[in-house]
Amino acid sequence: MTLDAIFDASSKAKAQTAETIRIRRPDDWHVHLRDDAMLRAVLPFTAAQFARAIIMPNLVPPVATVRAAEAYRSRILAARPSGSDFQPLMTCYLTDTVAADEIEAGHSAGVWIAAKLYPAGATTNSHHGVSNIAKIRPVLERMERIGMPLLIHGEVTDPDVDIFDREAVFMERTLLPLLREHPGLKVVVEHATTEEAVAIVRDHQPRVAGTITPHHLVINRTSLFQGGLRPHLYCLPVAKREHHRQALRKAATSGEPCFFIGTDTAPHLSKAKEAACGCAGVFVGATALQTYAQVFDEESALDRLEAFASLNGARFYGVPANTGTIELKRSPGTAPLAVPVESEEVVVFRGGESMPWSIGETKI
C-alpha cells in the first residue's frame, strides 16, 4: 500500500469514528421557498443549514421575467432571520414563449444563475411549462452560447407512461437527444431518482450534473404505503424501487464531482397533502443535513460529505466555495413534527423522529 493510500485510509477511518465533523458551509442547489406566509415560515430552516440556495421559480404566476425574479429575491431577503447571510440564487421559469433576449439579459445582469425546464403538467405549478422542446430551441441555443445552465425536471407527462417509468423514459426520449443537439449546453438533472439518470450524468460529465435529495436516499416506493397511504412522502419524481435507491446512495457517496446536494424541499400545507388529490412535495428543509450525514455515515463515506455538500455544486456553477463552516455531531436530535404557517401547518420530513446526527455550530 502506498503512503497516499495509507493516509487516505487513515483519514477515512477518523471521519467514520469522529463524534463531530466540520465541513465548509454547504449550498442547496434546489429549493422551493414558495411565497408570503409560507416563505416566512420555511426559509429559516434552509437558511440555518445552507449559505446559498438555488430558488425554484414555479410560483403562481411563474417567475419568468427579470423583473419578477428581482422582486422575488427582494422578498426572500426581507424574510431572512435576523443576522442571516443566506443568499438566494434565482432561476427563470421557461415557457413556450420566453424570449432568448430576456434570458440573456437576466443572466448577464446576474439576476438569474440558471433556467428551469418543467415539462408542462409534470409537477406542482408546471402548467405554464414547456409543451415541446422544439419551441424553446432558440432559447437553448442562446443558453449554450452564454454558458447558462439548464435545470431539468426530467419526467415525461404522457398518460400512457407509468408514473414509476416517467423519469427513465424522459432520459431516453428527451434528454439524450437534447444533449446531442446542444453539445455545449450545461445541464443539471434535478432530483435524480433512477439508475438510468445516474448513468447519464456519469456518462456526460462534466457538463452534466445531477442533484440528489435526502428523502430519495432513505425512502423507496414501498415507503409510500407502509402502514397505510403516506401522503407526506409523496413527491415528484415519485420514489422508485429499492435498487434505484441503492444506486442513488452509491452515486451521492461516491465522491464523483458530478453529484451534489439538491434537497428539493417543497412545502405544502397539511390540508393540501392530506386531500382527495394531494400535492406532490416533501418538506425536508429542517432535516436535510442530518439525513445526508446519516446516509454518508451508513455508507462509510463521511470523508466525502464535504465534497457532495459544499464543493461539487459550487464548482459546477462556477462560484467560489463558501469560507465558513458548519458542525455536524453524532448526537441524537429531533426536529419538530410540523412547522406552523399562520393558522395551518407543514409536516416536517422525519419530524419527531430521533435522528443519529444533529447540527452544531455554524461559523460564517
Q: In angstroms, rounded to a whole number, what is the distance separating the alpha carbons of residues 165 and 246?
A: 17
**Does the annotation mark 27 as catalytic?**
no
- Sorted by sequence, the CB contacts under 8 Å of residue 335 that are 6+ apart come out as 286, 287, 290, 348, 350, 351, 352, 353, 355
Radius of gyration for the alpha carbons in the chain, expressed in angstroms and rounded: 20
Q: In angstroms, rounded to a whole number, what is the distance separating the alpha carbons of residues 102 and 136?
A: 13
- Nine cell digits for residue 193: 431518482
- SS3 readout for 187-234: EEECCCCCHHHHHHHHHHCCCEEEEECCHHHHCCHHHHHCCCCCHHHC
216 is in an annotated binding site: no
Helix (H) or strand (E) holding 116: strand 112-117
191 is in an annotated binding site: yes
Q: Which residue has the cell 428527451?
A: 174
305 is in an annotated binding site: no
| Catalytic member of 27, 28, 264, 297 | 264
**Of residues 326, 274, 339, the one with CA closest to residue 43:** 339
264 is in an annotated binding site: yes
Q: In angstroms, rounded to a whole number, what is the distance separating the alpha carbons of residues 78 and 76?
A: 5
30 is in an annotated binding site: yes
User: Do β-strands 344-347 and 338-341 pair in parallel, antiparallel, or remain unpaired?
Assistant: antiparallel
Q: Which residue has the cell 470523508?
A: 303
153 is in an annotated binding site: yes
* Binding-site annotation: residue ranges for Zn(2+): 30, 32, 116, 153, 191, 264
* Binding-site annotation: residue ranges for substrate: 32-34, 58, 153, 236, 268, 280
* Binding-site annotation: residue ranges: 30, 32-34, 58, 116, 153, 191, 236, 264, 268, 280
Q: Which residues are catalytic?
A: 264
